[in-house]
Structure 1
Amino acid sequence: MDIDGTRALVTGGGGGLGRHISLALARAGADVAVTWLSRDGEARKVCAEIEALGRRAMAVQMDITDAAAIETAVRTVAEAWHGLDILVNNAGRGRPTLPGEDSPRVVPFGDIAALTPELYDHLMAINMRGPFLAARAAAPWLRASGRGRIVNIGSTIGFSPRDAGLSFAMAKAGAIPLTRYLAATLAPEVLVNCVAPGLIEGTGLTGAAEQTYIDSWRDKAILNRTTAPEDVAAQVLALVQSTSTTGQTVVVDGGISFN
């Protein structure tokens, strides 16, 4: 499918992987709205890059854990641009900061007591409930567009949990059945797929990671490297351009898991 002239919304599109996805869509001809929670400066920089490519851009504040905020953000974009064609559920957190706290919680490996109900619920709200609510809010516009596409961003860690990422892995693993559910529910008007990256250096998810942890991912990859964000963005673009692929999860991880 030619996506020239389409209207896309990328959650968490202001930094890290989201920026690469947003620019890949813009280079292919899409207008792109990016959401932000607390770093509007980064979102506006990405918008400037999108506009420099000759496409429309919009930065919209949205809390992925707040159903009403999601509804408002999606409606703001769709009404401003008279529709919506593409949703990329990219926003996610591995070590979230609970409301009222100043620093992220860390769950040591094997310490099930540290994974409190509050932390578990928050991880699920960000990484699984939020993408579902965004898809639910966008569904009427995506169905009406004639070119509706959703791409969820999962993670290789959802296939093979490792070390302190166990709590994050449970949340991100949910992207796979969520993708299949949405693909079946929204067919044939909307195609829904998932990209599951390995560890990407230089993003918010890896910013606090120790070098030994990063090296462990590189050592286990048969390509002896971490995941390039450009490769993930290219796969997202390929999926939104496809006309016969839905319900699928594509792993981009340098050869750690052959799912």
Structure 2
Amino acid sequence: MEMSLKTNERVQEELEALEAILMDDISISYNERGCPELIKTTIFPSTANEVDKQYVCVTLEVKLPEEYPDCEPLVQLRNPRGLDDSTINHLYKSIKDKCAENVGQPVIFELIDLIRENLTESNLPTCQCAVCLYGFSEGDSFTKTQCFHYFHSYCLANHLSITKRHFQEEQDKLPAWQKSTKGFQATCPVCREMIECDIDELKTAHPPKELESAQKFEVTNDLRLLQERMRQLFSYQKSKGGIIDIEAEENKLLLITQSSEETASSESTEVGSIYK
């Protein structure tokens, strides 16, 4: 796209360089006047050509004010994967410092390089396993899904095994013509995207260290009292019609009756036919 004559030559040169380096990995949006407005690119850690070793990523969005580069751009980090809040906050602080240091000159490539360096240094998931809610310790076996969500391999194996068993149980209840022809398909426990993994291989993983050392769950007297109060509350709400009874709903019949207008119309037609 031809850029507006008002666009600073420094910005034009910077964008051309970014497109030459990042090629299809960068997206640049322009306004009606042909001036660049928004730059987007997803950044991964440096792992040479070993894509499977990229455990974290984040999408950088940079909005360019008309005064850029003589003022700081507006930066947002979107869709972080494998990064906790403290890591994101640290990135934002580093980005702000970098922008302040480079007022008056193009800074986008500097930001991309800065973020990539940080991701490379912390190229291990700092989030929690969404199944057991424990973090990842050194020596834990974990799995990165295609949608960049992270789980202990042991936890993911248990989750998928239970999900597969429930799927089979539901399929067994259905008549042959209603059964799925595709069979069980593993999905991500977080975003429900289809994932590819070998459940049998995942089962060979050891439990995460924090899970092994965690205190065993016990039903205390306080918990039993709470369960009893919740049971009473449930019964009370059900008696007042506040709980949907699934079995009762399934057994309901739908009765279709004529409206008063349809009934009157039908009666007038019959009367008219009598007097003909």
Identify the TM-score tier after normalising by the shorter chain. Answer: under 0.3
TM-score (norm 1): 0.22
TM-score (norm 2): 0.21
Q: Which has the higher contact order (CA 8 A, sep 6+)?
A: 1
Q: Find the structure with the greater CA-based Rg.
A: 2
